[in-house]
């Protein structure tokens, strides 16, 4: 814990030894709850509203940067990045001093994430994961919510990983595609026993903040 800011110290380039049981004494074992759950939800609404006002862009790289900014703009405590891909979101958060852990089933993705100096586990998101039930935030980006064709199961698993006042940040596909759009968030959240805090659309992608 940083004595000056009161936030968790960043985890610098840690490679996780998966042969060692991951108990409660890890960099992710705490839960950062500044001001309590209601203040956290208010902060999410405020920051997401500001981020949702970003100007549109036709440049794919700029659009992805806008989406990534909004996906991470509210994360101010220990965060787990599920099916992390290249680890770009976790890297972004770690550079801000946020304790973060990435998880992916692809060995190439895990290697790419670790090459950034970000801790990563080579596991399915449904496998045993450290600090279950204690994460302040969980990220589901790049269509991960539709993993295995069962978004309700993915969201229920995400709920299990969160602390009682934790928040899932979920990216949905643009409208008019074959993938899951933001218009389904209410029904999916209800099935997973989650509540929608707020939603925005950035570069045609819907982003939702869900809590237990």
42-99 pLDDT, tens digit per residue, is 666 655 555 554 556 678 888 899 899 999 988 999 999 999 999 999 999 999 999 9
Closest CA to 138 of 187, 89, 174: 89
- Across the range 186-202, mean pLDDT stands at 94
pLDDT at 20 over 50: no
| pLDDT at position 19 | 35
Higher pLDDT pick, 47 / 26: 47
Q: Using 50, 70 and 90 to split pLDDT, how confident is the model at 179? A: confident
Asked if 2 contacts 8 with a C-beta cutoff of 8 angstroms, the reply is yes
Distance of CA 39 to the CA centre of its chain: 19
Asked if 151 contacts 194 with a C-beta cutoff of 8 angstroms, the reply is no
Give phi and psi for 205, each to the nearest 5: -100, 130
Average pLDDT over the chain reads 81
Residues contacting 172, CB < 8 A, separation 6+ = 145, 179, 180, 181, 182, 184, 185, 205, 206, 207, 208
Tokens of 112: 């790419």
pLDDT at 104 over 90: yes
Rounded Cα gap, residues 184 and 7, in angstroms: 34
pLDDT at 153 over 60: yes
| pLDDT at position 49 | 56
| pLDDT at position 6 | 46
Question: pTM score > 0.95 for this model?
Answer: no
Ordered alpha helix ranges (H), the chain: 36-51, 60-72, 88-95, 107-115, 151-161, 185-191
| pLDDT at position 37 | 60
Lookup result for tokens 């920051």:
47
Q: What angle do CA 39, 42, 45 make, to 5 degrees?
A: 155
Q: Which residues pair with 46 in a beta bridge?
A: none
- Across the range 5-22, mean pLDDT stands at 38
| pLDDT at position 34 | 45
């Amino acid at each position: 814990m940083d004595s000056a800011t009161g936030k968790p110290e960043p985890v610098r380039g840690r490679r996780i030894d998966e042969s060692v049981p991951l108990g409660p004494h890890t960099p992710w074992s705490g839960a950062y709850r500044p001001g309590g759950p209601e203040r956290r939800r208010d902060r999410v609404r405020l920051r997401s509203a500001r981020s949702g006002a970003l100007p549109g862009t036709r440049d794919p790289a700029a659009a992805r940067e806008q989406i990534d900014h909004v996906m991470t703009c509210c994360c101010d405590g220990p965060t787990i990045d599920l099916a992390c891909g290249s680890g770009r979101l976790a890297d972004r958060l770690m550079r801000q001093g946020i304790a973060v852990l990435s998880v992916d089933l692809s060995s190439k993705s895990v290697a790419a994430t670790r090459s950034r100096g970000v801790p990563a586990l080579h596991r399915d998101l449904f496998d045993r994961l450290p600090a279950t039930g204690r994460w302040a935030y969980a990220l589901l980006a790049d269509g991960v919510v539709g993993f295995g064709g069962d978004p309700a199961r993915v969201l229920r698993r995400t709920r299990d990983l969160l602390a009682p006042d934790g928040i899932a940040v979920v990216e949905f596909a643009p409208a008019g595609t074959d993938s899951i759009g933001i218009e389904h968030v209410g029904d999916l959240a209800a099935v997973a026993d989650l509540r929608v805090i707020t939603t925005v659309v950035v570069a045609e992608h819907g982003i939702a903040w869900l809590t237990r």
